[in-house]
Amino acid sequence: MARKCRGWAKCVCTVKRYLGNVSGNAFSPPQQGILTVSENWVVLKFGGTSVAGRKQWDTIASIVQARLSEGFRVLLVCSAVAGVTNQLNALAYQPGSAQRRQELLDVHLKLGRELGVGEGQWLEDAEQQLDRCLRDLEHDPGPRHRAALLALGEWISTRMGCCFLQQTVETVWVDVREALETVPESEVSPARQWLSASCHAAESPGLASRWSALGSVLITQGFVARNKDGETALLGRGGSDTSAALLAGRLAASRLEIWTDVPGLFSADPRLIDGARLLLEVDYSEALEMAASGAKVVHPRCIRAAAATKTPVVISDLNRRDVAGTKIGSRVTGRSGVKTVTCQKQMAVILLQNLDARFQVGFLAGVFDTIRKRGVSVDLVATSETTTTLAINCESNHLGSDDLGDLVEDLSSRCKVTLFSNCVCVNLVGRGSRTALGRLQPVMDFFEDRPLLMVSQSANDLCLSLLVEEGEHELLLQEAHGVLIPPDPGEADEIFGPAWARLQPLADMETA
């Protein structure tokens, strides 16, 4: 039989102040005096797969106990249970679907029973919140109420998690909207202001004092913030990582630990290259370039937020706790050169040919103004006397084939346009990436019978990008990795740890 959540009064102490705010009603953070307390915080972020089962939550509880024994105050930042945000998003477009509503509740009820908190007050509150959000969406299906509904996943997972942790350690739920307020952006669409907003990174001694006074273990939502009017807004893709970094900065935390289902950043995607090696340490600039260039373990905005407050970040695997993981910080290692080979799919390459470009004042300004009016961001650009080549990430710009066609039509009024719509950008990333040029001859042989659409070197000498047509990139990745990344000798050095193939048996042993 499932047990009721013991210590519910402790868990609910701050919940009751905010009950109802997920639906989009104005949120007002509590006003409390500043106390003098320790600032020895560590922030632990757990993603959707890391909060999806009893085994994962048992591991989370043991990590919390370990950090407490090390003398830290602990803040847990949790995502929605894996798959729940997608369910909520589907429900946002069918708010009257009783079946989708029940499926969503059943996911959480099943997990609540696994955790021994199936009869907790959280379920009744979740149903109330869900029904309120759905009524609001039926009345107004815009991004404001959609954001409130999508935020519910994190709200429920952290409420359940609080109840579970209360069985072994005093834990307090706090609403992240007390700490994170979005920045108004006049140049972005209304949908982005609600669904992919931004927050400033900064320390907040007052917040650290208030939250320290509540207890030694706190739990809160990732992905969620409030706008200037106190209404629920979201931080977009990678929002839980980003909010964890922002909170770590506000608390002046000793470090941010991101617990996920991989041991850290690798020298390539291990799903494509078994010999990909774990990166033991990279600096903020390299990590940001890796994240922006296709390494999806951590989001670029998370790295920017951590770098702004100089918060060390450690990426670790919940299923391989004995693996060191990747450390990200301000220390610059002595070795220069490529550390990872990444790729970005769904890229479009646009060739703009204008024989009079060098005599036509403002040609490029006009091109970029046309692109700006379409709300599109350009990733890479290369120019010559008669041709300008642009690379655009269709996924991050939310561009479909019709959108690309409209953009090409707009640009065609200025010059001759050639579009390559299905491309991949292979990126060679690392401090001093230009040092790799002398070693790339075997890689360049790859292009003897294949088109190279574009080459671009970043101004900060952190990335060399090669644009190719889709279907050719995997072989190019393998060849570049083989040339530029040293093979695993069986022992770690300053930068490179074990290869993925050597880590896999560890995972198999732990799951056996």
Residue 2: pLDDT over 60: no
What is the model's pLDDT at position 13?
A: 43
Question: Count of domains in the chain?
Answer: 3
427 burial (CB, 10 Å; 0-12 / 13-18 / 19+) is buried
Q: DSSP 3-state assignment of 197?
A: coil
The predicted pLDDT at position 19 comes to 42
For residues 423 and 470, is the Cβ–Cβ distance under 8 A? yes
Is 155 domain-assigned? yes
Segment 54-62 shows an average pLDDT of 97
Range of the domain at 301: 261-334+491-512
Helix (H) or strand (E) run with residue 313 in it? strand 313-317
Q: Are residues 464 and 509 in the same domain?
A: no
Q: Are residues 289 and 324 in the same domain?
A: yes
Are 372 and 478 in the same domain? yes
**Identity of the residue numbered 478:** Q
- φ, ψ of residue 66 to 5 degrees: the values are -65, -40
> Is 16 inside any structural domain?
no
List pLDDT tens digits, range 321-341. Answer: 989 899 999 987 667 789 999
Query: What gap in Å lies between CA 285 and CA 303, rounded to an integer?
Result: 8
Residue 4 has pLDDT above 50, yes or no: no
**What confidence category does residue 98 fall into, taking pLDDT thresholds of 50, 70 and 90?**
very high
Looking up residue 328, the CATH number of its domain turns out to be 3.40.1160.10
Confidence band of 76 (pLDDT split at 50, 70, 90) = very high
Assess contact for 452 and 444: CB atoms under 8 A. no
Q: Is the pLDDT of residue 144 over 80?
A: yes
Is 320 within a domain?
yes
Mean pLDDT over 197-220 rounds to: 96
Sequence-ordered alpha helix ranges (H) in 115-151: 121-139, 143-150
CATH (domain of 392): 3.30.2130.10
Q: Tell the residue number behind the tokens 């695997």, with chain if given.
A: 317
The identity of residue 418, as a single letter, is T
pTM of the entire structure? 0.87
pLDDT at 386: 84
What pLDDT score was predicted for residue 230? 95
Is residue 68 located within the same domain as residue 211?
A: yes
Structural domain includes residue 371 = yes
Mark whether 128 and 209 lie in a shared domain.
yes
Does a structural domain hold residue 30? no
Domain-embedded: residue 327: yes
In a domain, 307, yes or no: yes
- Give the tokens for residue 296: 């999806």
Average pLDDT, the chain: 88
Residue 359 pLDDT: 59
For the chain, the distance separating the N- and C-terminal CA atoms, rounded to the nearest angstrom, is 28
Residues 470 and 379 in one domain: yes
H helix intervals, 172-283: 190-195, 205-214, 239-250
Residue 362 within a domain: yes
Domain termination site, one of 238, 259, 280: 259
Distance between CA 410 and CA 178 in Å, rounded?
45
Are both 231 and 86 inside the same structural domain?
A: yes
Same domain, 85 and 152: yes
- Region 82-108: what's the mean pLDDT? 94
Q: Do residues 114 and 124 share a domain?
A: yes
- Sign of the C-alpha dihedral computed for residues 112, 118, 121 and 123 taken in this order: positive
User: Are 244 and 202 within one domain?
Assistant: yes
Query: What pLDDT is stored for residue 166 in this prediction?
Result: 96
Give the domain-ending residue among 259, 291, 309. Answer: 259
Burial label, 203 (beta-carbon count in 10 A; 0-12, 13-18, 19+) = middle
172: part of which helix (H) or strand (E)? strand 172-173
Say which residue, 236 or 254, is predicted with more confidence: 254
Whether 368 has a pLDDT exceeding 80, the answer reads yes
Residues 229 and 297 in one domain: no
* pLDDT computed for residue 38 by the predictor: 45
Give the strands of the sheet with 416-429, arranged side by side: 380-383, 387-393, 340-353, 416-429, 463-469, 454-457
Q: Do 458 and 386 share a structural domain?
A: yes
Residue type, 3: R
Domain boundary at 196, 231, 259, which? 259
Q: 């952006």: which residue's tokens?
A: 185
Q: Taking 90 as the threshold, does the pLDDT of residue 16 lie above it?
A: no
Per-residue model confidence as pLDDT tens digits over 444-495: 888 888 888 998 888 888 999 999 998 888 889 999 999 999 998 887 788 8
Highest mean pLDDT among 92-101, 212-221, 488-497: 212-221
